[in-house]
Structure 1
């Protein structure tokens, strides 16, 4: 590769990070008008809604009581939940369980005295909230930064591997078509940014609440991650992966048409860019007031990708492909299970799904937040079903890989 093209690789990655950084910052500015939380004001609002909900329940208006209970959590407690979680994740978790239990008792038509005892317990917890919330910690920003880094790095490293393989194939078979490949790849970057902008505009005009929108975007992200993980799992065998890349390159080279090769470069990058846009939009919606740390993750991932691209495309270094694919699949699967847990929990808080509170074994709250574990039967069942599906897919892929490995010596002996 010439020096000019090496600089082109780095320039494309720098342009990608600058574009995504500016769009994330703009999105953050639109969704976060005031970065501070008036804790005492929110606590007063919660107590007022608790009293109104209790009065409505005693009048027999259970629907109004449930609506006020949801409002207390979604409109007020969630605003102080992020700094509270950083300061004391175990206490935050306990308060979440109490709010969920409050709604469950209303839906079960429990005795007013039982609800009154729970509300007294919640009020006692609110007394401690103001004491617990102190200076910001590092857990939440670190988690958001790592998640942001993982999204861009995973998508970017796959794009780098594909482009490197295609360039290697074209170098051998038709070097003149490498330039159109670069042109198509470069055009995919502004197209990916445009996809992000379209998502931002559409989500702004959709006539639904922020919480429901966050849940829908999370579910879309889960579906996307399931598709990505299963797609990669089918190609965990290095030979299958290279056959897939060569088949795509051969289709473009066989036409001898520069526009076909440019389209191949465009679709290769744009597929990753569009997936990244959807995943980041979901992340921004979930990481309210921590958007700066999303940008930090993007910048870190872009720098890592620039170094990786220089090594793989510029210097011809090789990566342990099977190891990378295995790690990428595991990360995506774990992330999808966690996001699914958070999405189901949000739908329960909004009243779209039933709530059945269960006791979870004692565990580190940072780990449970990372895994999206919430103390309801519905979230655990959804996550368990997805985990079981992944285990079945891994078992099938492992058996297929074993058969393929065993068949290779036989094929060589038979002269195939």
Structure 2
């Protein structure tokens, strides 16, 4: 784990040297968006609906997201604000696609600009009130949030290997994790390099969304497998079988792949988010590094506590608890994956209106029918599975 943290630190240092323009102030970013939106409306009024929609896409991916405004709002103001703004972008593009009346399109655009302007003012006030801490907290929270998600998966995998007496396979977890960090940096560098030519914004969201959904499949398989081993007799039979047939070509690599996906997703996001922070840091670069260092210390402590705690609990509660936790992570990742595909324009966005719905970014809960649908399906599947296994256990002789 120490190797992973050290390598992550090195990669973030290297990310600072990635090509980047001078850091714009948030007011300037907001003004840029306003000017670009005026041009997009002019294109729409000329009768070029598709051109106007593409112009709005350029505003979202090329300014709002690329210049770091979305990240700053999500981590400094509120994740809900960033999501609502994203929905408004989607609504505006949908109106343009439908060929709505110019007045209706302008009204949607004005609403969007007011939302962005309000968040910009909040950012300006936050920075003025907090000084350098306005750079510290996003840096701390980003790494802590992304790191915890990866660490929880890694800790569960490592604890499982140690609990089953298979410490020799820990190298799979560490090596796959290191490979994931390297892959994260390479991916971030490639996206940064080709953004201008290929519009990596939407492609980036799609790749991240697909990666997260693959992680969901792996987490579900591992969760179900670990849940099935919670019975002491089943576990004993498995151990005996494992002695005869090596894990080296099977479960160990599957767990290693789960570690790779968990770290890869979070690592790529950390590098990209930190690039945005450095681009917009002005004179607060040292506070970003302070936030990074504080988050590394916090993650090391969290990892140690989770790992030690997991190894000391009895076998059945450990496997049941880990299985449940991994399933919850899968549900969270499912919502995040669909949301990423929504940002990439691959899946439509239908906000849930009229019903008070929470917006919890860290849990992958977003008030849209698309994200909630897959999570509800997974929750129902879990309930059905629990009922099935309970009936199965009760029917077996004691």
Instruction: Name the TM-score, length of structure 2 as normaliser.
Output: 0.75
- SS of the equivalent of 1:374 reads coil
Equivalent residues of 1:147, 1:297 under 8 A apart = no
Q: Which residue of the partner structure matches residue 7 of structure 1?
A: none
Q: Which residue of the partner structure matches residue 214 of structure 1?
A: 208
Q: Which of 359, 364, 381 matches 2:353? A: 359
- SS of the equivalent of 1:289 reads helix
Task: Tell me if 1:83 matches 2:72.
Answer: yes
Q: Which residue of the partner structure matches residue 305 of structure 2?
A: 304
Q: Which residue of the partner structure matches residue 283 of structure 2?
A: none
Q: Which residue of the partner structure matches residue 323 of structure 1?
A: 317
Task: Tell me if 1:119 matches 2:121.
Answer: no
Q: Which residue of the partner structure matches residue 273 of structure 1?
A: 256
Counterpart Cα distance in 2 of 1:378 and 1:294? 33
Q: Which residue of the partner structure matches residue 48 of structure 1?
A: 35
Counterpart Cα distance in 2 of 1:242 and 1:154? 20
Equivalent residues of 2:334, 2:374 under 8 A apart = yes
Structure 1 pair 306–129 and aligned structure 2 pair: CA distance change class (3 A): closer
Structure 1 pair 149–187 and aligned structure 2 pair: CA distance change class (3 A): closer
- SS of the equivalent of 1:96 reads helix
Structure 1 pair 109–374 and aligned structure 2 pair: CA distance change class (3 A): farther
Counterpart Cα distance in 2 of 1:19 and 1:319? 27
Q: Which has the larger radius of gyration?
A: 1
Instruction: Name the TM-score, length of structure 1 as normaliser.
Output: 0.73
Counterpart Cα distance in 2 of 1:31 and 1:189? 25
Counterpart Cα distance in 1 of 2:83 and 2:264? 26
Counterpart Cα distance in 1 of 2:257 and 2:143? 25
Q: Which residue of the partner structure matches residue 235 of structure 1?
A: 229
Counterpart Cα distance in 1 of 2:394 and 2:232? 13
Aligned length: 352
Equivalent residues of 1:358, 1:375 under 8 A apart = yes
Structure 1 pair 285–122 and aligned structure 2 pair: CA distance change class (3 A): same
Deviates more, 1:133-142 or 1:225-234: 133-142
Counterpart Cα distance in 2 of 1:92 and 1:140? 15
Q: Which residue of the partner structure matches residue 344 of structure 2?
A: 350
Counterpart Cα distance in 1 of 2:28 and 2:44? 24
Equivalent residues of 1:146, 1:297 under 8 A apart = no
Structure 1 pair 276–238 and aligned structure 2 pair: CA distance change class (3 A): same
Q: Please, what is the CA RMSD of the aligned residues? A: 3.3
Q: Which residue of the partner structure matches residue 171 of structure 1?
A: none
- 1:299-358 residue CA offsets vs partner (Å, 9 max, x unmatched): 23553366469xx6xxxxx63222222222222222222222222122222222223333
- 1:115-163 residue CA offsets vs partner (Å, 9 max, x unmatched): 1111111222222222212243476555334323312211211111122
Unaligned runs of 5+ in 2: 195-199, 276-291
Task: Tell me if 1:395 matches 2:387.
Answer: yes
The residue correspondences of 1:15-414 to structure 2 (distance < 5 A) are 17-29=1-13, 31=15, 33=18, 38-78=25-65, 79-89=68-78, 90-133=80-123, 134=126, 135=130, 136=134, 137=137, 142-163=144-165, 184-185=168-169, 188=172, 191-193=175-177, 195-196=179-180, 199-200=183-184, 203=187, 209-249=203-243, 251=244, 264=247, 270-287=253-270, 288-289=272-273, 292=292, 295-296=296-297, 299-304=300-305, 307=308, 319-359=313-353, 361-362=355-356, 365=359, 368-404=360-396, 407-408=397-398
